[in-house]
Structure 1
């Protein structure tokens, strides 16, 4: 799989995307499992609601 930083301005071409997907597994099911595991890992690292900064003021604060 190509190691590119997420902030790369240039979009990936079809060959690069195909290579990245192929590196996830041999079959479509393997690839889907790899993506599901990655998503679960991301969900585990999400902060809880009480760990997030407040972005809205209450009506009393104006």
Structure 2
């Protein structure tokens, strides 16, 4: 678990994701990355339940 707040300014073009997953035999995990730009992080946070879904990402 990451205990620090994310830095949302002065970023360079890169990204990192960290998580732990325990998979049973024959199962899988999907790891997706969305890259873009917004002027205000709140515009993403307001729509996170829509954006962080496979149908949205596949569209």
Superposition TM-score, scaled by structure 2 size: 0.24
The structure with the largest alpha-carbon Rg is 1
Superposition TM-score, scaled by structure 1 size: 0.23
Higher percent of residues as helix: 1
Q: With a CA cutoff of 8 Å and minimum separation of 6, indicate the structure with the bigger relative contact order.
A: 2
